[in-house]
């Protein structure tokens, strides 16, 4: 019975890890992918517009 108690925690953790990976993979893409991509594109375009208008550079230290 000692081998069962020694193997049970790694097997349970492996099962949870596999479930986590499957959940992450399934949540990628799909209908939410376009919303996420649009949000990132909007943030990039706002940053680019601010940079072109002479806004503060992201790495400026104010010196």
- Alpha-carbon span 49 to 30, nearest angstrom: 30
**Does pLDDT of 13 surpass 90?**
yes
Q: Flag whether pLDDT at 62 surpasses 60.
A: no
Q: Tokens 């492996």 — which residue?
A: 14
Total domains in the fold of the chain: 1
Is residue 34 in a domain?
Answer: yes
Confidence band (pLDDT; 50, 70, 90) for 60? low
Instruction: Please state, for a pLDDT cut of 90, what percent of the chain lies above it.
Output: 37
Evaluate whether residue 57 is within a structural domain: no
Q: Give a yes or no: residue 8 inside a domain.
A: yes
Is 62 contained in some domain? no
Q: Kindly state whether residue 42 falls inside one of the protein's structural domains.
A: yes
Residue 17 in tokens? 């890890």
Asked whether 57 and 51 are in contact (CB, 8 A), the reply is: yes
Domain of 37?
2-52
């Amino acid at each position: 019975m000692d081998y069962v108690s020694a193997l049970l925690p790694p097997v349970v953790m492996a099962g949870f890890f596999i479930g986590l990976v499957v959940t992450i993979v399934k949540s990628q893409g799909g209908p939410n992918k376009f919303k996420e991509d649009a949000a990132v594109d909007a943030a990039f375009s706002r940053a680019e517009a601010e940079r072109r208008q002479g806004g503060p550079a992201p790495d400026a230290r104010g010196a």
